[in-house]
Each structure stands twice: as structure tokens, then as C-alpha cells.
Structure 1
Amino acid sequence: MARVSLILTPGFADWEYALIAGTGSAFYGIDVRFFAPATGEFRSQGGLAVTVEGTLQQCLDWNPDVVAVIGGMIWESADAPHLGDFLHASRSGGAIFAGICGGTLALARAGLLDTVTHTSNSAEFLQHNAADYKGAGLYTSSPAAVAADRIITAPGTAPVSFTCAVFEGAGLSTEIIAQFRSMLAAEHE
């Protein structure tokens, strides 16, 4: 069974993880679990109170196939947690990384976007909020998720393509992913 860890922080963006958590386990047999840099009870941007008991060390011990860092306003503040050591240890364990919206800042700060094609909310967003970011030459302005060298990035407005890329990283077939994408796009046809 594929394993996907969702890294949440206080003020996490409700829409950026919901499709992964809501469908990954129930419909696609993915073991989805939640972890946080600082465990305990906190609220999402929408006000949902959650208690996350899984530490980053427990996430490493669990050895997920995909580590998805979910965005939220904290990533743009001085209170943003430093995930560099955790992310590098996870990469050594073979994990695929995914960051959406502010979650891409954690990847940029860890140097993971310096040598791969990637996207985010904008190039300026990364440059302004991640002081050591050196990947501007590889930034791609894209309305959808971008996957390169086992790293998935997406703007906050792309939760569907982000979910599809995470599911692909977790090993779901292209047929299942196409069906999932089509189901979510049906109202726009």
C-alpha cells in the first residue's frame, strides 16, 4: 500500500490537502497520514480545529512514498518552521516531495528547487519569501502542478493537478488518475 504523508502547520490551507486525504484512502487504497513540525491542536485557514499527533520524526520512521507540504500563511512569516533537515532525511529515504502554495517555500528554503523545473504562486513569491532560493532560472509559470526529478510543485490555485501528481507519485495508474481528473472537471464541461 502506498504511503502519503501530509505535513500541516497552523493555518494550513483547507483546499490544498482535502482531495488527497478525502479520496486517497477511501477510494484508492493509499495510506494517508498527517504530521506536523509542532504537534497538537491548531486551526486551518477556514477555522477547522485539528489535532495532529504525528511528529516529523514519526513521519521519517514511517518512510512515506510521498511527503506533501501543505501551504498556509505561516510559510510567509517569521514563524515558518524549518523543514530542511527533515526534507533531506526524507529524500535520502527515497521519498518524492510535493509542495503546494506556501509549501513550496519549505522546499525552496531547503534548496530542493535549486536544480529542478518547478512552479509556485509566482517566481517573485519564492524570491521574496525564501532568502536562499537559487532556482529562479528553472521556475516555470504554470497554472497546474509541475513534476520533475521526484519533486512536485503547484500554485495554491491548483489542488486538482497537485492531487493527481501526488497520486501518480504514490503509484496510481494513469487510467485511475485520468478518471479522477475527469470526474473533478465534469462540472466545467
Structure 2
Amino acid sequence: MRDTMYVLVFDGFADWQVALALAEVRRPGEWEVRSAGFTREPVMSMSGLQVVPDLSVDELDLDAAALLILPGGHLWLSTQREQTASVVRRVYEAGAPVAAIDQGVPLLARAGLLDHCRHTGNWAGQIGREVPAYSGHDQYDAHVLAVSDGGVITASHLGSIEFAREIIHTLDLYNASDREHWYRLFKHAVPPPWLAGERVDIVQAA
């Protein structure tokens, strides 16, 4: 049963970019979130939080994997890039979607997943500069902050809310209407009708 979402953690990973998505995935109580490191040794996020990985990337249960998330971060080493690309390919070929934001996006290109699907990133030209073998330039969409296509989710470093929305949709959390209300609430501070009604009642009572 695919009920586990894996998130890659490493020294310098941008924890805030994936925090909202992780919180929403855990909310229904049907999904398990597990952190995967290059080893089981503790790592320090960009925000200064120490995380002890639940397991190493070599220990992923591909049969249980519902999603693999790659956060951004500025401390990617060359050996980590190749290892991560290999892990991404394994997860994707096993039938689970993969998601990347910010500097995680070029890792999907390195794994060969962005050549034939619509995707986005930090800015046009970045992926090709970092991954010479990348040939998905015509599939790059510079007009969105996050997009999902063919089991591949990509997002700009400015699109953590949109990134969470695409993950919520991919995992089929909530219904379509609730997902839209969720996005309006977090993106534009527009409360859903039931909360807006409660606010009016409170104001009138006061």
C-alpha cells in the first residue's frame, strides 16, 4: 500500500519550502511522513533545525512510496546530485510521483524526468545551465509558480504554497472545492465561507 511520503533532508535543506505541504499531508492521518538522508547521521536545515533522518535513501520502501519530495538548498554536493538522481529514477520507475522545489528541480532534470513533461523552476535557463543534458526547454512554463504533469511536480522557490497545492491535488486530499478554498486562504487570506460566516457572527455578537 502506498501510504508513505518521503522527504529528502540534507545539510542546508530549505525546510520552510516543504513545511506547509508536509503539514497538510499529515492532517488527515492517513499518510506517513518519513525523512530520508544520504545517511542516518543528523543534518542541519538552512533554518538551523537539526533533523535525524528516519532512514537513508538506500532504504526507501518503493512499494510504500506515495511521493518523494526534494526541497531546495544551497549545499548540494556533486556526489549527492548523482545519488539523488538515481533515487529519483528508482522512485518514479516504481510508480510513485516525485516533487521538487527550488534547487531540487534540476535534480529531476538530471534524472531525465523533465524532457517530456510540463515543468517550471526558479527562472528560465537555470536548469539547462546546471544540467547540460537537459532537453526540456520547450516544456518549461515560466508563467506558473508550480505545476504537475505526468507524476512530476515542480515549483519555483517563490511557490511553496502552490507547491503544497499540487501535492495536495496529486495525493487527492480533500475535494476540489475544499482544495480551492484552502489555496485562497493561504495565498490570499480569503477565509472559506464557513469561517467567514463565523467571523461575521462573532463581530455581530460583539
Taking structure 2 as the reference length, the TM-score comes to 0.82
Moved more, 123-132 or 111-120: 123-132
Moved more, 61-70 or 114-123: 61-70
Asked if 1 retains the 8 angstrom alpha-carbon contact of 2:63 and 2:94, the reply is no
Match of 2:142 in 1: 141
Asked if 2 retains the 8 angstrom alpha-carbon contact of 1:41 and 1:49, the reply is yes
Match of 2:81 in 1: 81
2:108 is aligned with what amino acid?
Answer: L
Matches within 5 A, 1:1-189: 2-27=3-28, 29-61=30-62, 63-75=64-76, 77-78=77-78, 80-82=80-82, 83-172=84-173, 173-187=175-189
SS of 1:4 mapped into structure 2 = strand
- For structure 2, the residue ranges without an aligned partner over 5 or more in a row are 192-206
How many residue pairs match? The answer is: 188
Asked if 1 retains the 8 angstrom alpha-carbon contact of 2:9 and 2:43, the reply is no
SS of 1:142 mapped into structure 2 = coil
Shift in Å, 1:124 = 1.9
Shift in Å, 1:21 = 2.0
Asked if 1 retains the 8 angstrom alpha-carbon contact of 2:3 and 2:64, the reply is no
Taking structure 1 as the reference length, the TM-score comes to 0.88
Shift in Å, 1:188 = 7.1
Identity of aligned residues (%): 23
Moved more, 34-43 or 108-117: 34-43
SS of 1:88 mapped into structure 2 = helix
Tell me the distance in 1 between the aligned counterparts of 2:78 and 2:105. Answer: 16
User: Higher relative contact order by CA 8 Å / sep ≥ 6: 1 or 2?
Assistant: 1
Shift in Å, 1:74 = 2.3
Shift in Å, 1:63 = 2.6
Larger Rg: 1 or 2?
2
SS of 1:106 mapped into structure 2 = helix
Tell me the distance in 2 between the aligned counterparts of 1:176 and 1:68. Answer: 23
Asked if 2 retains the 8 angstrom alpha-carbon contact of 1:65 and 1:169, the reply is no
- For structure 1, the residue ranges without an aligned partner over 5 or more in a row are none
Asked if 1 retains the 8 angstrom alpha-carbon contact of 2:8 and 2:70, the reply is yes
SS of 1:40 mapped into structure 2 = coil
Moved more, 27-36 or 123-132: 27-36
Shift in Å, 1:98 = 0.7
